[in-house]
Every structure is written in structure tokens, then in C-alpha cells.
């Protein structure tokens, strides 16, 4: 019996294989998916007690979306480094490999943010257009995925990658209006805050729920958010390349 | 051909799943014009229709959500004035949405919380108000009636009680 060469692009083939791997572990996948309605339910309980949404709820949703992306992705490269190194010798390019991961994880992130916001909206309708807010959460999840893949590409073991996730998420809280009012920011804090994906996702919520929304700011925040996601995935690709290839 | 059928089946399943969730949630999600969501869905639709009538200053129709014997006595413009502190003609209701709808344990009383964004035309200021509409019915087979007087009633101090 002869095998027929797969004519699909390498990214598609690798993504299909990765998807099959994830679906092959339904328990793990279910656990990843169940996080979203669980956190959404907890948000609904807390904010349901005051029967209204507040900026803190938007921040928690944005932070959760980044967390989802990060935690989904942080082990995905490091855990199969040996396999990837072997496949790279047979012509699998780091770019295709990382993009295949990002593609599947983006899909997983999309389902998670829909479940997260859906659970909150079930009991408490958030102000502002829901599709726009979903897009912001998806952008945050994508940036988190990029961050997670970068960590995974740089980490030497799975444990170290998982350990790095809280260290990446804590600054998202520290450099935010949740810590101190933005009027009190020093220049450094104001600059660092702009590097945080949560900040831009939160800006989408903040602007679109204002009494007089500035839609150009919403568009800008979304563009920055998705650009961050793309840059981080690009950085993860660079980190996956062998040192010599990076130098030349 | 098989691929097209598979895609159609998946789309139909997704749509069916979404509509099922929308129904169970009491129409917390858009129902695509379908009468889903049970009592909570009906209450949400009634509240939104009421707000649309108020938005277009159709106060006669807005009063029609009350019990038949009360319709003639309901003074919607006065109640609106009490809520926004301006006369209805100086108010432009721009946007409104249901925050939640809930029934009590008997299923005979309900409340719907709304978020209303309006422009005060005298000073061009945009304000947001939250209001709760209360509904009741005598039996589960009866239609829902609004108690707008209760929904917007301001508390007046009882002179026979101590307030300090």
C-alpha cells in the first residue's frame, strides 16, 4: 500500500494533527472549556448581587481572557520539543509549526470567551455591543495565546513554563487602573501599561460602554490588541528557530 | 456534496443549540425574532415594546400594558417626568436594554430591570438611568400586567413613623 502525499499546506496538516491530539484527550479539553463558564458563573454571582455591571467586571473578563490564552498555550511547544526538533530535520518549518498551534488555540480561545461572556450575559446583560466585546475578549485571548507560545518556546521544561504564567499576568493587574487611578500614573507606569494586552481589551469595554462612545478609540484598541497577538506569535516563531537561523 | 451536507448539518446544529440556549436563558440572548424564552422572554419583549412606545411618545399604547381597568388612569408622561426630572418633550430616549428579568417563586410576580440612555434636550446632556418594571398576574394562565405606578413610585415619608 502506498501513501498519498498530503497536498494541503503544512500549516493545515499540522493544525489538523494538533486538533486531533487535543480531541484525543477529551478530559483535558473539557477541563479547559469548563474554566470559562465556571469563572463566568462566579462573576455573575458577584456582580449579580449588585444587579449591575461595573468597570471592575470588564477588567476581570479581559484578564480572564488573557489568562485563558496564556494557560492554553504555555506548555504546547515545550512539551513536544523533541518531536518538533526531529520533524524540523525533515523540513517542518518553525513558522508553520507555531502558526498551526496558534490557529487551533485561537479556536479554543474563541469558544472559551463565548462561554465566558455568554455565562455572564445569561444573568446580567453587560452594557455596550456584545459582538464588539466578544471581539475584544477574543483579541485578549489571542494576545494571551501569543504570550503563552512565547513562554513555551523559551522555557526549558513544562513546569517552568507554567510557573512563568502568573509572573506574566501579575503585571497586567499592577499596571492597570485597578491598582491606582490613571491620573496618578508616572510616565513609566503609563508607558508600561500600554504594553499590556489587558489594558487594550479593557479600553474597548471602557470606550464602548461610555455614555458617548469614541468609536475611533475602540477601533484603535482592537487594532493594537490584534497586532500584539500577531507580534507575540511572531516572537514565539523566532524563539522556536534554531539559534543559527536567527543569526543569519 | 457530502462536505456541503456536513457543513449544513453542523450549521443547523449550531443554530439549534444557540436557540435552545436562548430559550433556556429566558431570552437573555437574541432570539432572532422567535417567541422563545418562556415567561421571562415574554416579559423582556413586553418591557422593550413599552420602552419603544415611550421613545416614540405613544403614551396611549404604553399605558395598554396595564390591567384593563387601570389603563385610563395611568399617566405615563407624569411618571417619565418623575424619573428623568424633565418633561417628556425635552427628553430623547436614545437607547434601552434589559439588564435582567426574573420571576418570584410563585411565578405570579416579576420584575424587569432596564438600562435607559437618554439625552436631555434642554442642555444636550446624555444621562443613563436604571429602572425596574414590575409585573403581576393572578394565575399562571393569565397575561402579565405592568404596575408602572409601583415601578416608578417615589417613597413618601409616613408621617406616623419615626425616620431618625
Q: pLDDT by residue (tens digit) across A195-217?
A: 999 999 999 999 998 888 899 99
Q: Does B152 touch chain A (CB under 8 A)?
A: no
The C-alpha atoms of residue A149 and residue A246 are separated, in whole angstroms, by: 17
Q: What value of ipTM does the predicted structure carry? A: 0.73
The C-alpha atoms of residue B107 and residue B130 are separated, in whole angstroms, by: 24
Residue A44 confidence (pLDDT):
92
Distance (Å) of CA B151 to CA A58, A244, B112, B115, B156: 29, 72, 10, 14, 14
Q: Does A52 touch chain B (CB under 8 A)?
A: yes
Q: Does A220 touch chain B (CB under 8 A)?
A: no
Find chain A residues with C-beta within 8 A of B126's C-beta.
Answer: 211-212
Q: Does A122 touch chain B (CB under 8 A)?
A: yes
Residue B157 confidence (pLDDT):
52
Burial of B140 (0-12, 13-18, 19+ CB in 10 A): exposed
Which of B28, B98, B99 shows the shortest C-beta gap to A52?
B99
Find chain B residues with C-beta within 8 A of A52's C-beta.
Answer: 99, 130
Find chain B residues with C-beta within 8 A of A51's C-beta.
Answer: 99-100, 113
Cβ distance A125 to B100 less than 8 Å, yes or no, reads: yes
pLDDT digits over B19-42, tens only?
999 999 999 988 888 999 999 999
Find chain B residues with C-beta within 8 A of A212's C-beta.
Answer: 126
Alpha carbon B99 to its chain's center: 9
For residue B135, is it left (φ>0), alpha (ψ between -120 and 50) or beta?
beta
pLDDT digits over B102-111, tens only?
999 999 999 9
Q: Does A209 touch chain B (CB under 8 A)?
A: no
Beta-carbon contacts of B95 under 8 Å, excluding residues fewer than 6 positions away, are B116, B117
Of A1-15, A85-99, A166-180, the one with minimum mean pLDDT is: A1-15
Chain A nearest-CA residue for B44: A125
Beta-carbon contacts of A82 under 8 Å, excluding residues fewer than 6 positions away, are none
pLDDT digits over A38-88, tens only?
999 999 999 988 888 889 999 999 999 999 999 999 999 999 888 988 988
Cβ distance A211 to B128 less than 8 Å, yes or no, reads: yes
Find chain B residues with C-beta within 8 A of A127's C-beta.
Answer: 97, 115
Q: 3-state SS of chain A?
A: CCCCCCCCCHHHHHHHHHHHHHHCCHHHHHHHHHHHHHHHHHHHHHHHCCCCCCHHHHHHHHHHHHHHHHHHHCCCCHHHHHHHHHHHHCCCCHHHHHHHHHHHHHHHHHHHHHHHHHHHHHHCCCCCCHHHHHHHHHHHHHHHHHHHHHHHHHCCCHHHHHHHHHHHHHHHHHCCCCCCCHHHCCHHHHHHHCCCHHHHHHHHHHHHCCCCCCHHHHHHHHHHHHHHHHHHHHHHHHHHCCHHHHHC
Summary mean pLDDT of chain A: 90
Distance (Å) of CA B156 to CA A152, A155, B159: 64, 67, 9
Q: Does B56 touch chain A (CB under 8 A)?
A: no
Q: What are the grid coordinates assigned to A140, written together?
A: 485578549
The C-alpha atoms of residue A129 and residue A126 are separated, in whole angstroms, by: 8
Find chain A residues with C-beta within 8 A of B124's C-beta.
Answer: none
Which of B29, B100, B130 shows the shortest C-beta gap to A124?
B100
The predicted model scores a pTM of 0.84
Q: Is the pLDDT of residue B148 over 80?
A: no
Amino acid at each position: 500500500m502506498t501513501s498519498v502525499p498530503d497536498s494541503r499546506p503544512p500549516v493545515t496538516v499540522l493544525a489538523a494533527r494538533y486538533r486531533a491530539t487535543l480531541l484525543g484527550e477529551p478530559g483535558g479539553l473539557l477541563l479547559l472549556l469548563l474554566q470559562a463558564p465556571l469563572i463566568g458563573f462566579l462573576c455573575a454571582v458577584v456582580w449579580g448581587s449588585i444587579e449591575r455591571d461595573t468597570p471592575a467586571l470588564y477588567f476581570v473578563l479581559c484578564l480572564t481572557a488573557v489568562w485563558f490564552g496564556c494557560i492554553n498555550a504555555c506548555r504546547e511547544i515545550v512539551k513536544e520539543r523533541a518531536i518538533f526538533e526531529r520533524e524540523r530535520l525533515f523540513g517542518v518549518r518553525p513558522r508553520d509549526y507555531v502558526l498551526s498551534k496558534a490557529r487551533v488555540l485561537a479556536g479554543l480561545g474563541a469558544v472559551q470567551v463565548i462561554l465566558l461572556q455568554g455565562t455572564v450575559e445569561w444573568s446580567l446583560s453587560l452594557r455596550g455591543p456584545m459582538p464588539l466585546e466578544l471581539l475584544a475578549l477574543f483579541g485578549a485571548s489571542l494576545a494571551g495565546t501569543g504570550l503563552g507560545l512565547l513562554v513555551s518556546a523559551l522555557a526549558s521544561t513544562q513546569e517552568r513554563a507554567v510557573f512563568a504564567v502568573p509572573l506574566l499576568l501579575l503585571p497586567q493587574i499592577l499596571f492597570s487602573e485597578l491598582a491606582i487611578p490613571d491620573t496618578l500614573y508616572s510616565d513609566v507606569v503609563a508607558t508600561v501599561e500600554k504594553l499590556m494586552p489587558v489594558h487594550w481589551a479593557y479600553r474597548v469595554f471602557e470606550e464602548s460602554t461610555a455614555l458617548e462612545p469614541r468609536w475611533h478609540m475602540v477601533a484603535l484598541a482592537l487594532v493594537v490588541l490584534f497586532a500584539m497577538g500577531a507580534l507575540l506569535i511572531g516572537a514565539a516563531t523566532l524563539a522556536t528557530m534554531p539559534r543559527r537561523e536567527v543569526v543569519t | 456534496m457530502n462536505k456541503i451536507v456536513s457543513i449544513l448539518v453542523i450549521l443547523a446544529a449550531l443554530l439549534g443549540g444557540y436557540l435552545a440556549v436562548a430559550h433556556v436563558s429566558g431570552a437573555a440572548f437574541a432570539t432572532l425574532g422567535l417567541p422563545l424564552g418562556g415567561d421571562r422572554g415574554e416579559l423582556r419583549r413586553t418591557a422593550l415594546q413599552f420602552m419603544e412606545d415611550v421613545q416614540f411618545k405613544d403614551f396611549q399604547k404604553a399605558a395598554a400594558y396595564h390591567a384593563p381597568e387601570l389603563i385610563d388612569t395611568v399617566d405615563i408622561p407624569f411618571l417619565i417626568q418623575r424619573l428623568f426630572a424633565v418633561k417628556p418633550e425635552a427628553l430623547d430616549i436614545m437607547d434601552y436594554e434589559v439588564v435582567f428579568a426574573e420571576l418570584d417563586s410563585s411565578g405570579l410576580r416579576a420584575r424587569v430591570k432596564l438600562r435607559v440612555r437618554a439625552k436631555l434636550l434642554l442642555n444636550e446632556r446624555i444621562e443613563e438611568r436604571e429602572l425596574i418594571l414590575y409585573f403581576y398576574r393572578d394565575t399562571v394562565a393569565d397575561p402579565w400586567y405592568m404596575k408602572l405606578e409601583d415601578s416608578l413610585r417615589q417613597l413618601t415619608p409616613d408621617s406616623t413613623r419615626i425616620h431618625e
